[in-house]
Amino acid sequence: LLDSVVRNDNGGLNNLTLNGQISGPAGITWFTPGALTLTNNGNNFSGGVDMREGTLYFGANNAAGTGTITLRSVSALNVVNGTTVNNPLNITGTTVTLAGNGTVATPVTANSSVILAPSASPGGGPGNLAFSNGLTVTNGATINFNIYDANGTAGTGYSLITATGGLNVTATPNTINLDVFTISSTGASAPAINFNFTNSYSWTF
């Protein structure tokens, strides 16, 4: 039974994983730059998750209960492979990252405060981050594009964003930031494999 969970260690880097079932009317407030991982599919607390900083790893379909996930300050939501986020998202931070290899099933607007970062989760490397209820990209949005295998397939060799619920680009020319990184299969900085600087390449993300 969740009455409230508040994590505040005055800025230290700490991680917490909650595997058991969480229920109750209250929510979770997270204050540390570390990681909060929720993994129980039976969570039914209604107070939502308030990320003041740090990363929320969404590890099961009902991991965050039924409430709103609020992303403030410099925080991130990482959607683990095979999971779907149905919670409403409230993005109020100055630098908020949406990452992972799962599906976001609520409408998302990526503005100048949002970084879209498809990535394999758990683990590392490129991933396929899906938006099933609409993705709008506006002025100043940032996309982190990872390349592991120059000849690989989308979603595993390099990053992929799938907007099955529709993609709406309202950004004016030259206002979307595309940051390209070459990485290893685990997500560490490394030269892309199968890359020959004398060849031409194209990748659709």
| pLDDT by position in tens, the chain (length 205) | 555 555 555 555 689 999 999 999 989 999 889 999 999 999 999 999 999 999 999 999 999 999 999 999 999 999 999 999 999 999 999 999 999 999 999 999 999 999 999 999 998 999 999 999 999 999 999 999 999 999 999 999 999 999 999 999 999 999 999 999 999 999 999 999 999 999 999 998 7
Decide: helix, strand or coil at residue 115: strand
- pLDDT tens-digit series, residues 56-69: 999 999 999 999 99
Threshold 0.85, pTM exceeds: yes
Question: For residue 153, with 0-12 CB atoms within 10 Å meaning exposed, 13-18 middle and 19 or more buried, which class applies?
Answer: exposed
Q: Return the number of other C-beta atoms located less than 10 Å from residue 27's C-beta.
A: 22
